[in-house]
Chains A and B, each alone.
Chain A
Amino acid sequence: MEQDIVALTSKAERSAVQTMRGAAVEFRQISKSYGSFEALKDFDLTIRPGEFLTLLGPSGSGKTTTLMLLAGFEFPTSGRVMIGGQDVSKVPSWRRDQGIVFQSYSLFPHMTIKENLAFPLETRGIARKEIALRTQEALRMVQLEQFQERFPGQLSGGQQQRVALARALVADPPLLLMDEPLGALDKNLREEMQIEIKHIQERLRLTVLYVTHDQEEALTMSDRIVVMNEGKIQQVGAPVELYERPRTRFVAEFFGDVNIFLGSVEASEFRADDESFTIPVCTGAPEGSACGAVRPEKIEMHKRGERPAMNDSVEIGGEVVDVIYLGQMSRYTVRTAGQDVVIKCMAAPRTRHFLIGDAVLLSWQADSFVLLEQGATT
């Protein structure tokens, strides 16, 4: 099919298609068991060419297994793995074409940086002259030209990380797999590398499968995020979608603080079990017991007696019982008639500070309240 398209397009368009070199990846009905342990169950996922897709989940959720299947280090018990339209389910790693950045970097300690970068080119039987050219290019890309004669042990963690990235990319693979590549770096360096990796990926139009357990990292870098738990996909979507509209309690709780309210839906209205509030929900929501979520920063807090914003559909009174100063913002715990509610307020110049014991009024808008799916509360 791809050939047909190429044949039909003009020269300019053809070059555009060629620069779009990322491969499409497809997992079809994958199961993977180790003995009686099922690491993946009925796993279906498509990664679009040139997409940066992140697998996010706690340890043991199956995200590393997924990466291993795509890397060819493990083979599915059932189902198929397709890369660029070809079934590679049983093709071992060394017969696939991909770059991998490992969590531990796995730079060869007995080879210099230059030799490390040359290795994937040598195994592909590329001529020596071109190897020299391409290693230099890769070194330039990660700005490590002056370190090429050093051994990995002589570089800092951040530099090693860049070498690992350059080594994964030097052979121009259509697919890049990254297994928690920034886990070993400190916070500032990690943020810097996140941006650098994202830029390189966008420039090269690479398909990237990125594995992490760091929600912020996933939100920052990904086109789409796959949240996994216990070998199953919980939700797939763009970062904003996952954060703002989580489908399950697991996803809601996985992305930071959230207030969960138990209650029931009746006539398109959610009523909290503790009777503290009711809130309209979209029509068609299944009736019966339900649970909903509100992010702490979506809640407004006022001193008792002040008027809340006009269009807020919920108002609950309470008392501040805990204040934690976080720098940019403060995190308050408010005891209400029902349950304790967590609120985060920006420390903007005009924002008042609340103290423990203050009587407050909480309010939020109807669309800040997300009704979560039942039966998937794990």
Chain B
Amino acid sequence: MSADMRTLRDRLPRLGPALLALPAVAFVFAFFALPMLDLFLASIGWPDISLASYTEFFTRGGYLPVLVRTVIAGITVTVLCFLLGYPLAYAINMTTGTKRTVMLLFVIVPYLTSLLVRTYAWIVMLGDGGLVNKTMILIGLTDRPVQILYTSTAAYVGMVHIMLPFMVLPILSVMNGVDKRLIPAAKSMGCPPFRAFLRVFLPLTVPGIRSGCILVFILAIGFYITPAALGGLSDVLLSELIEIQVSQAMNFRLAAAAAFVLLVITALFLLIFGADVSSTRTGLVGGDTGRLSGRGVGFRWARSLLAPLAAAEVMRKRRLAQWQKSLYRRDPFLAFRPGLLMTYAVLCLGFLILPSLVVLVMSFSSDPFLSFPPSGLSMQWYEEFFTDSSWIAALGKSVYVACISTLLACGLGVLAAYALDRSPTLSNYLMPLLLTPIIVPIVVVGVALYGGYVDWGLIGTDAGLIFAHTLGGISYIVIIVSATLAGFDRRLERAALSMKAHPFTAFRRITLPLIQYGIIAGAIFAFIHSFDEVVVATFIGGFGEKTLPMKMWEDIRHEINPTIAAVSTLLLLVPVLGLVGLRLTQRRNN
């Protein structure tokens, strides 16, 4: 080995962190930050700087009410989700053993299920011949089907249904970290159960509530698919407005301005509630929670999105939980009415899982239209799916795009996560950047990428789609692998170095095998992210071949037939397979 090579080999590890993060940062910068900048410039009419499009947005009739309606809808959905979700999380937290695992699955499976499938499920549920109307007629509430679908009620039901796991999981992960001995301690000081709950338990779960509310609100104000599919035409929200401005009115400047307004609201919300210095309370939660939330907005997000993994952790810890339970047999808060809480929890979980079940049944329908219950069973819709070349082509393209973008995201994301773990300073600056692709409302990402990718000729190409999906994939992998690395004992790597292992060897032989579970989990999330993604795909897909979600979205909007039920049922397998995969790697890891 030449002397030069030697010094280079020696120096690389020391320069390491910055170098390892470089590819991911460059990628996100080029394929995300630049288009975002482009979008901003477009909104101010670069090169002549003017606020004309913003003035138009705020003064011309129709736009401001849309903005107000969007914010109100966001708040409403957030409040509803909190009211429904907190007791549910509490109920799950009070349960142990298999029951707890099942309850968690009922939250996690919908969380991982395709947005389109769940939206479609509500179309099936709420339609004139759907389960809801049929039930109401059966019990005599009404004698004719009531118009629910395409009203704002339907939009709210769908949105709450989709957002509920985003509220429950972060709250649950914080509740799980609250020392269960605190409530008995409070009671030992003469505090009645309900007061103990209000004074001790509730304040300690505030970080979880905040994470959940931020997550839900930001997703809700950027929500596009569900309100567009379920809501009435009078209920156009900002995201739909943006889409319409781009695809129909061809008014990119106005769309850009609207997108930035949405972005500013998001940023303001994060600033007010997210970066609220996490308040001193966070510290009280102690351990992981405190440490993670100390790292600012990005990491709180990380924790929220990580909730399913935290949940997996919960499953492993359940034996411990059981022991604690036996120590403090009486439920501290709802001992007087555990039945009521459980009934409520079961209803909530039913609300979460029922639509998927209805779709599953519907997919085997022998009827030519959507009617529940189906008059007979058949495999005709599956046949239709597997014989229709356009469906198969869409499926193939989705798998292809998801696989490539997952691989790309894995490569870039794992290196970046490793780098960020090495250097807290780097982490403080780069973590937020690497997470923005999933923090920014998806419709804004769509418009921005559309504007940027048009210039680069990426519209309608596989490469464009792959790049777009890799962005989110990187975010998920960085979050999950970072969390895994936080639990990795770096002294092991040190030990390897002390045995004359080159830093790269140490990484390959020691670190990699020990964090592979996190990488696989991240990859599963990245895959699902790409495989389900429809909004950005719709913006930048152009007239190219459609992905599966794009084709489903088109069909949902135009000709609603049970083929989609068959597709949806097949897609329900994705989260199930994902969870099984996670579980298997986890077991091997133990």
Contacts and interface: CB of A to CB of B under 8 A. Distances in A.
Interface of A: 71-73, 92-100, 102, 104, 106, 108-110, 119-120, 123-124, 167, 171
B495 A100 contact: yes
B495 A102 contact: yes
Contact of A73 (B494, B506, B513): B494
B377 interface: no
Interface in B466-524: 489, 491-492, 494-503, 505-506, 509-510, 513-514
Contact of B497 (A92, A104, A109): A92
A108 B493 CA distance: 9
Contact of A106 (B10, B489, B509): B489
Contacts, number: 63
B500 A94 contact: yes
A92 B13 contact: yes
Given A99-B498, A104-B491, A123-B500, A94 B506 contact: yes
A119 B501 contact: yes
Given A92-B13, A109-B514, A110-B513, A124 B491 contact: no
Contacts of B498: 71-73, 93-94, 98-100
Nearest to A115: B509
Contacts of B501: 94, 119, 123
Candidate in B492, B500, B505, B510 with the most chain A CB atoms within 10 angstroms: B500
A171 B499 contact: yes
Contacts of A120: 499-500
Nearest to B504: A94
25 contacts: A73-B494, A93-B498, A94-B498, A94-B500, A94-B501, A95-B10, A97-B500, A99-B499, A100-B495, A102-B491, A102-B494, A102-B495, A106-B489, A106-B492, A106-B495, A108-B496, A108-B510, A109-B492, A109-B514, A119-B509, A120-B499, A120-B500, A123-B502, A171-B499, A171-B500
Interface of B: 10, 13, 489, 491-492, 494-503, 505-506, 509-510, 513-514
Nearest to B501: A123
A95 B6 CA distance: 11
Q: Is chain B's interface secondary structure helix, strand, loop, or mixed overall? A: helix
A167 B499 CA distance: 9
A123 B492 contact: no
Contacts of A73: 494, 497-498
Given A106-B489, A109-B514, A124-B500, A93 B509 contact: no
A102 B499 CA distance: 12
A93 B493 CA distance: 11
Contacts of B497: 72-73, 92-94
Interface of A: prevailing SS: loop
Contacts of A104: 489, 491
Contacts of B489: 104, 106
A123 B489 CA distance: 21
A109 B497 CA distance: 16
Contacts of B492: 106, 108-109
A167 B500 CA distance: 12
A100 B499 CA distance: 8
A95 B500 contact: yes
Contact of A110 (B494, B502, B505, B514): B514
A163 to B, nearest CB: 12
A92 B7 CA distance: 11
Contact of B502 (A94, A98, A109, A167): A94
Q: Kindly name the residue among B499, B502, B505 whose own CB sees the greatest number of chain A CB atoms within 10 A.
A: B499
Contact of B499 (A92, A109, A110, A123): A123
A95 B10 CA distance: 9
A110 B589 CA distance: 8
B494 A93 contact: yes
Contacts of A123: 496, 499-502, 505
A304 to B, nearest CB: 53
A122 to B, nearest CB: 8
Contacts of A71: 498
Nearest to B516: A110
B72 to A, nearest CB: 51
Given A94-B501, A94-B502, A119 B491 contact: no
A120 B499 CA distance: 5
Contacts of B10: 92, 95
B372 to A, nearest CB: 51
A106 to B, nearest CB: 4
B498 to A, nearest CB: 4
A71 B499 CA distance: 10
A152 B386 CA distance: 51
A106 B505 CA distance: 17
A91 to B, nearest CB: 9
Contacts of B506: 94
A110 B10 CA distance: 27
Contacts of A92: 10, 13, 497
Nearest to A179: B491
